[in-house]
Amino acid sequence: MRAPMAPLREGSIRLKDGRRLAFAESGDPSGTPVIFLHGNPGSRYMRHPDDSLTYRLGVRLITPDRPGYGLSDYQPERTLLDCPSDIEQLANMLGLGRFALFGVSAGGPYAAACAWRLGERITRAAIVSGAAPFDRPKAMEGVNRDYRNAYTLAGWPEWLLHPIMAMHDRSVRKAPHRALAALLAHCSPDDRAALADPALAAQVQGWRLEATRQGVSGMRREAHILVSPWGFRLEDIRPEVRLWYWEGDSIVPPQMGRYLAARIPRAVPHFLPGGGHFSLFTQWKDILKSLALPE
């Protein structure tokens, strides 16, 4: 008989440069390790609200706060390629050998960078509604107007972007329900139906508020990273990478996934009708099941 489902577990490690890296674990403590790279804004609390789904799949889900988010220390001037070292150190401290990766939205580029840098350490990876490089023609094709503006603002100098993001964050923290309503205005009908679930809506609000508990410096740096060149060739990624995108997503539209699929050698594309940017929750079981497959 299996042990009862374990509650959310939290911890932190000290990295080689002295920074604190915080993380949360859910699912089966003895299950297949999957490191989950959250979106932006996001935090270690980003996951499906029903932890029993993750547990029953035999997955040990480990979600670190990126630098400046939640309880993780801010890292000045960090780049996309700083992430693999943090993830490798976390895996080493947790005693993991090989492990799977799962990056969503703004976490997608980090999953790609880790798959590229860590190579054979990665069993397989999933990029779910993950952004593609922006330094290419028609990079924002299919993006809705408001997010097109947001991606454009992300390219501004950080000193100029900071007060804008800080003001927005204050409004979100003051009226989280109003902020959720504004998010829903940009979502597809399928996303609005999914977020009508009070448990999921509460989960979204919870990880969003935790993201900026230290302020917006981490989120500001992340915006800069998102629209900067990635610094490596997608063609050099060796592990299998499963790509999940939905036609109804106008925040990270499927053309971004198709760009990745054409360049990652072992890409396994899943381009699905309908859906939206939050379809990872309706497809949660299938995504994790594909990562937990025996090698």
Name every residue whose Cβ is closer than 8 Å to that of residue 230 and which is 6 or more positions away in sequence. 80, 109, 112, 113, 133
The strands making up 32-37's β-sheet, listed across from edge to edge, are 9-14, 20-27, 59-64, 32-37, 99-104, 122-128, 241-246, 267-272
Cα–Cα distance, 272 to 279 (Å, whole number): 10
The number of helix segments (H) and strand segments (E) in the chain equals 12, 8
DSSP string across 17-83 = TS-EEEEEEEE-TTSEEEEEE--SS--TT-S-S-HHHHHHTTEEEEEEPPTTSTTSPP-TT--GGGH
Set out the domains of the chain in order of their start, with CATH numbers. 9-291 (3.40.50.1820)
Of 161, 196, 164, which is closest to residue 180 (Cα–Cα)?
196
Q: What's the predicted TM-score (pTM) here?
A: 0.95
What is the pLDDT tens value at each position of the chain, 295 positions in all?
344 566 689 999 999 999 999 999 999 999 999 999 999 999 999 999 999 999 999 999 999 999 999 999 999 999 999 999 999 999 999 999 999 999 999 999 999 999 999 999 999 999 999 999 999 999 999 999 999 999 999 999 999 999 999 998 999 888 888 878 877 877 889 999 988 899 988 888 888 889 999 999 999 999 999 999 999 999 999 999 999 999 999 999 999 999 999 999 999 999 999 999 999 999 999 999 999 987 7
Instruction: Find the helix or strand (DSSP H, E) in which 160 lies.
Output: helix 158-174
Q: What is the pLDDT of residue 2?
A: 45
Structural contact between residues 100 and 125, judged by C-beta atoms closer than 8 angstroms: yes
